[in-house]
Amino acid sequence: MGKLDGKVALITGGSQGIGLTTAQHFIAEGAEHVFITVRRQEVLDEAVKKIDTKNVTAVQSDVSNMADLDKLYSIVHKEKGRLDIVFANAAINPSAPLGSIIEQHFDDLIKSI
């Protein structure tokens, strides 16, 4: 028995790094199903190959876009009808030298989480 037996999870930013590793760990711990999201389809496709299970649904989605979030909700609701775990991992990380960071960088970061 795994710690997550029967659980349905959503991981935003689930295509690489912490998000991908978390998705793999959730599956290994018995999650019934894991939804992962990321903005770029080609990156999402690679993540699905790495996770290598039928218990994952990859959804191209930008968490800062309300229409994309509505689409994501519809897919989760249709496929599983519930979510037990949400890992809000997606965020942008604008990179700029300290003296050239502008308010828009901060606004974009906050909008993405």
Is 1 within a domain? no
Residue ranges making up the domain that contains 104: 8-112
pLDDT tens column, 25-81: 999 999 999 999 998 888 889 998 899 889 999 999 988 889 999 999 999 999 999
CA pair distance 88, 73, nearest whole angstrom:
14
How confident is the model at residue 28, as a pLDDT?
95
Of 2, 19, 1, 44, residue with least CA distance to 10: 19
How confident is the model at residue 95, as a pLDDT?
72
CA pair distance 77, 82, nearest whole angstrom:
6
In CATH, what number is assigned to the domain containing residue 95?
A: 3.40.50.720
Is 3 within a domain? no
Task: Tell me the backbone φ, ψ of residue 65, rounded to 5 degrees.
Answer: -115, 115
**Residue 110 pLDDT more than 70?**
no
Domain tally, the chain: 1
**Residue 99 pLDDT more than 60?**
yes
How confident is the model at residue 102, as a pLDDT?
78
